[in-house]
Amino acid sequence: MINIAIDGYSACGKSTLAKAIASELDYRFIDTGAMYRAVTLYFIRQGVSLGVADEVAKSLGEIDIDFANVEGRNHTFLNGEDVEDEIRGMAVGQMVSPVAAISAVRRYIVPQQKKMGLKGGVVMDGRDIGTVVFPNAELKIFVTADMDIRVKRRLSELLEQGKQVTEAEVRANLLERDHIDSTRADSPLKQAEDAILLDNSKLSFQEFIDRGIALAKEKLNG
């Protein structure tokens, strides 16, 4: 069993592709962004000041993040509570990139992710999977799409979830997160040298998924 690393910008279809490949291969899908979102939710609830190292360290020591299948969908649990809905909201979305830029946060989360991949059979999506978490992943895909498409996609996802949000807010959030994620000092978002670029701007949903699955199968069949 191999490990598959899928990285890329916000709302470009990484998780959808990762889930589809995992389901096709009967591998485990891990949404690493959900882990940073869960930490962010805990920090918001506790009123942690991001610049105060002691507060950050204390809170990290209190957090346990887990995943479980709920009615066929992968849900994120924070200290035993199902927070899947809450971590997708704009309050978390607006704080998650500054939180994920804190080295202490990454030092807490990355070893857990590395452990999940020890036996292989994992499809993980995020920002630093091919560069830091699984630098030896057998297959690395870097996903991208035009900003307008990403905005539309994320807006309809959030509206479907019943969240109150405007197109302008979504666009501003994606632009800000792209900027913070790709310019931070610790593990910035970048395409690994050996990653395959998959731009889905001009692909239909099915073409995009089919292409990703074909890459995985090619890799498995040598």
Chain residues binding ligand CDP by CB under 6 A are 10-11, 32-33, 36-37, 96-97, 100, 126-129, 177, 181
Closest separation in Å from C-beta 162 to ligand CDP = 17
Closest separation in Å from C-beta 222 to ligand CDP = 28
Closest separation in Å from C-beta 221 to ligand CDP = 28
| Smaller CB separation from ligand CDP, 156 or 220 | 156
| Smaller CB separation from ligand CDP, 55 or 176 | 176
| Smaller CB separation from ligand CDP, 172 or 220 | 172
Q: Do 98 and 179 meet the contact criterion of CB atoms below 8 Å apart?
A: no
| Smaller CB separation from ligand CDP, 131 or 221 | 131
One-letter amino acid identity for 109?
I
Closest separation in Å from C-beta 26 to ligand CDP = 23
Which residue of this chain has its Cβ atom nearest to ligand CDP in the complex? 33
Closest separation in Å from C-beta 30 to ligand CDP = 10
| Smaller CB separation from ligand CDP, 27 or 36 | 36
